[in-house]
Amino acid sequence: MLIGLGLLLLTGYIGGKVVSSVGLPPLIGMLTVGVLMGPYVLNILDSDLLLVSQDIRTFALIIILLRAGLGIKKEQIRKVGVIALKMSIIPCILEGFTVMGLAYYLLGFSFSEAGMLGFIIAAVSPAVVVPSMIDLKEKRYGEDKQIPTLLLTGTSIDDVIAITFFTFFVGLETQTGHTSLVKNLLSIPFNILVGILLGAVIAYVFVYIFNKRSKNHSEKLVLLLSLTIIFVKWGDYTGIASLLGVMTIGFLLLEKVPTQAQTFSTALNGLWFFLQILLFALVGSEVDITKALDAGLSGVLIIIIGLLARSLGVWLVTMNSGLDIKERLFCMIAYTPKATVQAAIGAMPLALGVQQGTTILALAVMSIILTAPLGALGIYKSAPHLLNKMK
């Protein structure tokens, strides 16, 4: 597996450099390398590496969300909090139900199958959006109105919304008894609140420990990462919004122990340099080109119409928000990439024996292929033209 890991890092790094040399985001090259090396094209990657792919990608997401939290200040959250909450709910729901309706009426899906597809497709990708927004924050694009912070926060909650609705429709399909829509809807604010509160508790525990131990930042970082990983995996089992809790940990550490938070941020930046290669390459390795082709033109059309519905949601949410037309357009572009959730749960309906599971998987894969590279490209190319750059 070590040889496969080394080969993936090397080729992913080269792919990123080649793509960035022509003015494109490096992650496009990393995704492409993953697709080519994955089991559905050249099948070069070690099977043992693919078995732990999900865990590696989760670890990479933990690092990038900690970095995100360590870069957000209290006044920034106050400025965008209400808009971020609306951004996380309305666009996701509009896209999810639009795709659901199209699948029901055009593809002949059952109600539950259409719902599963709608909310697999609806989830925006933190793997693509969060690193992009951190990069824009560092370059000071949109910082005058905290646009990167708005999108960082909204993205984390968006996935909670999508997965909650998906879980409801899975229960409806499999008749597990978890079919109360009201109960599932009420679980959304509960899961978000518990995720934030537990993240805050963990953060204050760290603050206490860090104040007691003034030296050895490496030990503190190991402790921080260890407990955060356990917290996220527990969140996976319970449905708690643990990824939002991770951002809360970083946010409170920056507020309470800013000097140490800056040290952690610097260390995590170095860790992210190679973890990003693994994250995007392993996401790419999940992409089955033949499955995507099975989606056909009707699948492409459904995904595009879903994105239009999401964009309408973003446009409605940002009305009277203080953002001008160009900034609202940027938010629409930045909210298009799909990858993380689609790669993680796109095959679940098929595994559960859902009749339309193959088509659902094909559309999930197609959504990654269409939106991850184009969304990332749109973010980086449009930001200098649509956002103000603070000095």
Nearest to 342 by CA among 171, 166, 199: 166
The string of pLDDT tens digits covering residues 226-247 is 999 999 989 878 878 888 899 8
Inform me whether the pLDDT recorded for 316 exceeds 80.
yes
Q: What is the DSSP letter of 107?
A: S
Confidence of residue 180 (pLDDT cuts 50, 70, 90): low
The string of pLDDT tens digits covering residues 136-179 is 999 999 999 999 999 998 888 898 889 888 888 888 877 655 55
Dihedrals phi, psi of 40, to nearest 5 degrees: -100, -5
Q: Which amino acid is at 387?
A: L
- CA distances, 301 to each of 101, 132, 269, 305, 391 (Å): 13, 27, 39, 6, 42
The string of pLDDT tens digits covering residues 81-107 is 789 889 989 999 999 999 999 999 998
**Between residues 172 and 195, the one the model is more confident about:** 195
Which residues are CB-contacts of 31 (< 8 A; sequence separation ≥ 6)? 280, 281, 283, 284, 287, 339, 372, 373
Dihedrals phi, psi of 389, to nearest 5 degrees: -110, 120
- CA distances, 16 to each of 8, 194, 359, 365 (Å): 12, 38, 31, 21
Nearest to 86 by CA among 313, 334, 298, 344: 313
> What's the pLDDT score for residue 100?
96
Q: How far apart are CA 92 and CA 158, in angstroms?
A: 6
Inform me whether the pLDDT recorded for 186 exceeds 90.
no
- CA distances, 17 to each of 20, 243, 286 (Å): 5, 29, 22
Inform me whether the pLDDT recorded for 347 exceeds 70.
yes
Complete domains list, the chain, with CATH: 28-386 (1.20.1530.20)
The pair of three-digit structure tokens given for residue 374, joined into one six-digit string: 């184009």
Cβ 159 vs Cβ 240: under 8 Å: no
Cβ 344 vs Cβ 119: under 8 Å: no
Q: Is 384 exposed, middle or buried (0-12, 13-18, 19+ CB in 10 A)?
A: exposed
Inform me whether the pLDDT recorded for 49 exceeds 60.
yes
Cβ 369 vs Cβ 125: under 8 Å: no
Average pLDDT, stretch 70-74? Answer: 85
Cβ 371 vs Cβ 307: under 8 Å: yes
> What's the pLDDT score for residue 376?
93
Q: How far apart are CA 26 and CA 280, in angstroms?
A: 10
The single residue listed with the structure tokens 């050895």 is 216
Cβ 102 vs Cβ 325: under 8 Å: no
Task: Tell me the pLDDT of the chain averaged across its residues.
Answer: 89
> What's the pLDDT score for residue 179?
53
Residue 352: count of CB within 10 angstroms of its CB: 12
Q: Which amino acid is at 162?
A: A
Q: How far apart are CA 321 and CA 85, in angstroms?
A: 13
Average pLDDT, stretch 205-221? Answer: 80
> What's the pLDDT score for residue 192?
84
> What's the pLDDT score for residue 50?
86
Which residues are CB-contacts of 52 (< 8 A; sequence separation ≥ 6)? none
Q: How far apart are CA 65 and CA 1, in angstroms?
A: 27
> What's the pLDDT score for residue 183?
72
Which residues are CB-contacts of 176 (< 8 A; sequence separation ≥ 6)? 170
> What's the pLDDT score for residue 23?
84
